[in-house]
């Protein structure tokens, strides 16, 4: 328990700041800003998709409906793949949280690695998997895969309501999204990550990974085999990576976990296969694996040759924990715990409003369409208006 509290005290100020920045981005930047630049089947659309995806605060499951919505609006397969790779690996919240536990070097290299891997993956899809032979069945099911969810008073049609919100309304929306919806989306996985990290620190002996010393590639393959099918959010994977590195895995293997875990899981594999096709799925997975291993080897090269010391920051954080945490850290931790209880526990007890509107898939109605919410307030659909 002490190890988990230490990790929370170290991360909580940065997590709260990251959540707030994510909410501000969500409220003040309309969703169509990201989609209208990704339609062409070119390197430029792949580059822009990777660039747009880096700061977005979407987890590896939440990015799926957003990416499929972008695809439905006409984005190329390469752009969608680039977006799927870059977005879940990073986000303003996870970048700040990475700095809090892993230092400036990891905080800088992590988004750069995600960006480069996304461009590589998207370009490979445009090269190998794009073409006119689209799966009609898949295209027909895109709308079924993307559930636009209702929020505020407007049934999820963000583009219609966004321009009419005042500054105060947008700030209210930012706070609600940051400390309500985002907490619901990744709060559970963040806590799982912290608990797993604490258990690793407590029960895994320091010599457990000695077999991998001098065999960086083998340790990376082990991490990939574990990380790819699992669900690991970008923020929740951070304490796990820290615990594994401190137990003996190389910094490169830790980076592989930070990249491959959030970038892929069984849900994304199944959806990519259904909507974008088998060739795109194979290219998507190969890009993640090759990109993660390449970046991991580069990290270990920099570490072993003394160019950048990635481990010293982790050891430094452990020393700080032993010296005790400040009152500010404890205040932020208490605030974070209360927000998590409000988002995850109280709705299950029937207390407060339960937000169903994870605003990952945006409902974009055309001129002749309108949005309709089902009674369960969970799904939003565009329907053609009846003309008499």
Q: Structural domain of residue 55, as residue ranges? A: 2-382
Tell me how far apart the alpha carbons of residues 110 and 119 are, in angstroms, rounded to a whole number.
14
How many angstroms separate the most distant Cα atoms in the chain?
A: 76
**Assigned domain for 387 exists:** no
Q: Is residue 102 part of a domain?
A: yes
- Which positions ≥6 away from 188 have C-beta within 8 Å? 344
Burial (CB < 10 A; 0-12, 13-18, 19+), residue 192, is middle
pLDDT value, residue 262: 87
pLDDT tens-digit readout, 5-35: 776 777 788 778 878 877 887 788 766 666 6
Residue 200's pLDDT band (cuts 50, 70, 90): confident
The CA-based angle 19-292-200, given to 5 degrees, is: 65
Length of the chain: 388
What's the mean pLDDT when you consider all of the chain?
75
**Spatial contact of 186 and 233, defined as CB atoms under 8 Å apart:** yes
Count the alpha carbons within 13 Å of 161 in the hemisphere toward its beta carbon: 18
CA–CA separation, 80 and 77 (whole Å): 5
Which whole-number Å values give the CA distances from 320 to 15, 277, 317, 325, 331, in the listed order? 18, 49, 5, 8, 17
pLDDT tens digits for range 278-287: 899 999 999 9
Q: Is the model's pLDDT at 367 over the cut of 60?
A: no
Residue 125 domain-assigned (yes or no): yes
Give percent of the chain above pLDDT 70. Answer: 70
Rounded to an integer, what distance in angstroms lies between the CA atom of residue 300 and that of residue 306? 10
SS3 call for 192:
helix
Helix (H, G, I), strand (E, B) or coil at 385: coil
What is residue 315's predicted lDDT score, i.e. its pLDDT?
Answer: 53
Indicate the Cα dihedral angle 265, 181, 188, 363, nearest 10°: -20
pLDDT at 190 over 70: yes
User: pLDDT: is 71 or 355 the higher one?
Assistant: 71
Asked whether residue 388 is assigned to any structural domain, the reply reads no
Give tens-digit pLDDT for 35-56. 677 777 788 889 999 998 898 8
Give me the mean pLDDT over the 149-175 stretch. 64
* Cβ-based neighbour number of residue 263 at 10 Å: 32
- The answer to the question of residue 331 being in a domain is yes
pLDDT at position 376 over 80:
no
Q: How confident is the model at residue 207 (pLDDT cuts 50, 70, 90)?
A: low
Total domain count for the chain? 1
């Amino acid at each position: 328990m002490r190890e988990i509290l230490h990790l929370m005290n170290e991360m909580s100020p940065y997590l709260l700041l990251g959540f707030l920045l994510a909410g501000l981005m969500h409220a003040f930047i309309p969703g169509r800003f990201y989609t209208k630049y990704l339609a062409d089947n070119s390197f430029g659309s792949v580059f822009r998709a990777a660039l747009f995806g880096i700061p977005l605060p979407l987890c590896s499951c939440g990015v799926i409906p957003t990416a499929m919505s972008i695809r439905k609006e006409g984005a190329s397969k390469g752009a969608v793949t680039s977006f799927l790779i870059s977005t879940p690996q990073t986000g303003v919240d996870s970048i700040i949280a990475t700095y809090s536990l892993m230092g400036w070097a990891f905080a800088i290299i992590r988004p750069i690695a995600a960006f480069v891997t996304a461009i590589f993956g998207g370009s490979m899809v445009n090269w190998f998997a794009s073409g006119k032979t689209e799966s009609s069945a898949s295209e027909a099911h895109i709308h079924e895969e993307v559930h636009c969810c209702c929020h505020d008073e407007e049934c999820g049609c963000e583009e219609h309501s966004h321009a009419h919100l005042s500054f105060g309304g947008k700030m209210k929306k930012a706070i609600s999204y940051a400390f309500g919806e985002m907490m619901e989306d990744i709060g559970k996985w963040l806590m799982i990550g912290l608990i797993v990290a604490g258990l690793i620190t407590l029960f895994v002996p320091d010599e457990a990974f000695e077999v991998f010393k001098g065999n960086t590639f083998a340790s990376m393959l082990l991490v990939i085999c574990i990380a790819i099918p699992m669900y690991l959010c970008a923020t929740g994977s951070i304490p796990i990576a820290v615990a594994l590195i401190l137990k003996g895995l190389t910094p490169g293997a830790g980076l592989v976990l930070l990249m491959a875990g959030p970038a892929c899981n069984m849900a994304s594999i199944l959806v990519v296969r259904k909507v974008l096709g088998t060739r795109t799925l194979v290219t998507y997975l190969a890009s993640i694996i090759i990109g993660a291993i390449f970046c991991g080897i580069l990290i270990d090269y920099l570490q072993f040759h003394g160019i950048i010391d990635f481990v010293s920051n982790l050891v430094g954080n452990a020393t700080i924990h032993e010296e005790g945490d400040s009152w500010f850290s404890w205040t932020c931790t208490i605030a974070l715990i209360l927000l998590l209880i409000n988002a995850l526990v109280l709705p299950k007890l029937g207390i407060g409003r339960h937000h169903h509107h994870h605003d990952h898939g945006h409902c974009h109605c055309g001129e002749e369409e309108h949005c309709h919410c089902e009674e369960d307030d969970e799904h939003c659909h565009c329907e053609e208006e009846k003309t008499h």
